Amino acid sequence: MKRMMTILAASLAMTAFTGPALAAEDGEAGKVISKQQQQEMVNVAHRGASGHAPENTMEAFQKGFEMKADYIEIDVQMTKDGELVVIHDTTVNRTTDGTGKVGDLTLAEIRQLDAGSWFGDAYAGEKVPTFEEVLNEFRGKVGILIELKAPELYPGVEAKIADALIERNMDTANNEKIIIQSFNHESMKTSKELLPNLSHGVLLGGNWANVTEEQLAQFAAYADYFNPSMYIVTEELVGDVHEAGMDIYPYTSRSQEQALRLFDLNVDGIITDYPEHVYAHPVKN
Ligand code: G3P
Ligand code: CA
């Protein structure tokens, strides 16, 4: 049922779109993805449209929204003073002009950092967003795939995230536009208890190539999504995940060829830095 609703939502979104041609071609194989396949594939803008704007910034999320992604994916962590911020690494070193661990800095300190210049001068002055800022701006406009990044570093982070969603009535039954995921599966069990009506996902790295049907059944007890590294995805794995009752959104596609391979494998969604590889939408730079 959930899969049907997701497909319907994606189809409606595409019906509203009046952009250019939808067919995507694989130069080598001469393969063409049909309009229907594109409409049914859930398009997730990884850390926002992070191929086009600095990852995990409001600009990247806005770009993902403008490119008609079905979801923006965000990484959530906690500051020293217990505030939720959206940033991928557990330090600010790579994506800001500052240094230090996210958990050792206060929100005020993190908000002073420039999170855009590393990507390009045009993005100078971009801030590390707060979780609430992202919810307030994008709720109801685009789906939000919320990753709890390294939750083992931030005791109580699941409850803080739940509180922010509940305050906004975003925890309602069958909310198809919010998904919570993590590589930390214990954290997902905790979150599912706090937010039983929301969909949850397990993230898996390349070391999960030999996942068993028993393990899939255990995940399916609390998760609706099995989101692995794209490198371990096979047709057989996709079939097993579906058999277990979950959808599969592999990460992270960064080329048209990679996206086309995932189409071929019959996955349900593609987590990508380039939403245009899933929908051939124009990119506004
Ligand atoms: O959404 C899946 C993907 O984001 C997981 O990897 O390292 O980019 O957070 P990472
Ligand atoms: Ca992520």
Q: What are the two backbone dihedrals, phi and then psi, of residue 251, each rounded to the nearest 5 degrees? A: -125, 160
Nearest to 265 by CA among 244, 229, 226, 238: 238
pLDDT over 70, % of the chain: 85
Q: Residue 272 has what pLDDT?
A: 98
Give the pLDDT confidence of 117-128 residue by residue, as tens digits: 999 999 999 999
Give the pLDDT confidence of 69-80 residue by residue, as tens digits: 999 999 999 999
Q: What is the pTM of this model?
A: 0.90
44 CA closest ligand 1 atom index: 1
Active-site positions read 46, 88
Closest Cα to atom 10, ligand 1: which residue?
88
The mean per-residue pLDDT over the stretch 256-261 comes to: 94
Q: Kindly list the protein residues whose Cβ atom lies closer than 6 A to any atom of ligand 1.
A: 46, 73, 75, 88, 147, 203, 227, 251-252, 271
- SS3 category, 124: coil
Ligand with the closest atom to the CA of 271: 1
Spatial distance between the Cα atoms of 232 and 226, rounded to a whole number of angstroms: 12
Q: Which residue in the block uniquely carries the two structure tokens 């800022």? A: 133
Spatial distance between the Cα atoms of 228 and 238, rounded to a whole number of angstroms: 10
Cα 84–chain centre separation: 17
Domain ranges of the chain: 2-7+37-277
Better-predicted residue by pLDDT, 129 or 285:
129
Spatial distance between the Cα atoms of 77 and 184, rounded to a whole number of angstroms: 13
CB of 50 within 8 A of CB of 56? yes
Cα 11 to Cα 14, 20, 35, 141, 257: the distances in Å are 5, 16, 10, 16, 23
Give the pLDDT confidence of 201-247 residue by residue, as tens digits: 999 999 999 999 999 999 999 999 999 999 999 999 999 999 999 99
Q: Which of 46, 254, 262 to mutate to test the pocket of ligand 1 (most atoms within 8 A of CB)?
A: 46
Q: Residue 176 has what pLDDT?
A: 67
Q: Does domain 2-7+37-277 have CATH number 3.20.20.190?
A: yes
Nearest to 33 by CA among 272, 233, 261: 261
**pLDDT for residue 250 is more than 90:** yes
